Amino acid sequence: MAHVQLADGALHYRLDGPADAPVLVLSNSLGTDLQMWDAQIPTWTEHFRVLRYDTRGHGQSLVTEGPYSIEQLGHDVLAMLDALDIEKAHFIGLSMGGLIGQWLGINAGSRLLSLTLCNTAAKIGNDEVWNSRIDTVLAGGRQAMADLRDASIARWFTPAFAAAEPERTLRICQMLAQTSPEGYAANCAAVRDADFRDQLNAIQVPTLIVAGCADAVTTPEHGRFMQTGILGAEYVEFPAAHLSNVEIGAPFSRRVLDFLLSL
């Protein structure tokens, strides 16, 4: 179990792949952990040193007092890169991880080789939705997280996938039930407050945007908006809901790899 020591706690990470290969950083979605990328590791480690981590408030990483901000979470990534002596890396983030990626592209583009923004948006949801969820989780604790797990199945996966792959669906959604309520609520605030709609043109690194045609959370329209705002960004859409990397699996992995190897 590997950790990077931040100023206020330990950030859990895992490295896989050849030690001399370019580094590829993977950033998890809200309510999951670094295991959400398990399906991609065999393909991507053929070409990259893959660095996965649990975002603050998730998995085995530190849980500090909230609210958090996407800027704070972006600085966690930079601190991790510094601690591991990594000057530049490719970055892939899904949902909240995609917000972190946007912040890095806008504010720390010199540290990035490329960006892949999956099932995300420049602005996700509204204050009413996030404040209600924060209040529910802080009041209900672990039971509220279990309730969110059950409700997340319909948001994260298409009905066809959930019916065909019940064990995989439950394994991913169980990550949400195991997430710290305090950490989850603090990250909800970070997502609530993030708005990069007027800053996308500051992203200058090669960018791929991945959307799911059945994603009701971050829709294809959100993806195309980012493509329009980021010069030269590529766009791909899969028949999936919110966790397209899990639902699509190998075709997702190959399309992202093709983008990375084209650079």
In tens, the pLDDT along 39-66 reads 999 999 999 999 999 999 999 999 999 9
Contact 156, 241 (CB under 8 A): yes
CATH number assigned to the domain comprising residue 74? 3.40.50.1820
User: pLDDT category, 150, cuts 50, 70, 90?
Assistant: confident
Give the pLDDT score at 1.
Answer: 78
Q: What is the pLDDT of residues 72-93, one digit of tens each?
A: 999 999 999 999 999 999 999 9
DSSP conformation letters of the chain: -EEEEETTEEEEEEEES-TTSPEEEEEPPTT--GGGGGGGHHHHTTTSEEEEE--TTSTTS---SS---HHHHHHHHHHHHHHTT---EEEEEETHHHHHHHHHHHH-GGGEEEEEEES--SS-S-HHHHHHHHHHHHHHHHHHHHHHHHHHHHHHS-HHHHHH-HHHHHHHHHHHHTS-HHHHHHHHHHHHH---TTTGGG--S-EEEEEETT-SSS-HHHHHHHHHHSTT-EEEEES--S-HHHHH-HHHHHHHHHHHHT-
Determine the Cα–Cα distance for residues 151 and 42; give it in Å rounded to an integer: 30
Mean pLDDT value across the chain: 97
Please give the residue range of the domain that contains residue 139. Answer: 2-261
Instruction: Read off the pTM.
Output: 0.98
Which DSSP state fits 22?
P
Number of domains in the chain: 1
pLDDT (mean) for 240-253? 98
Determine the Cα–Cα distance for residues 203 and 59; give it in Å rounded to an integer: 29
Three-state secondary structure call for residue 78: helix
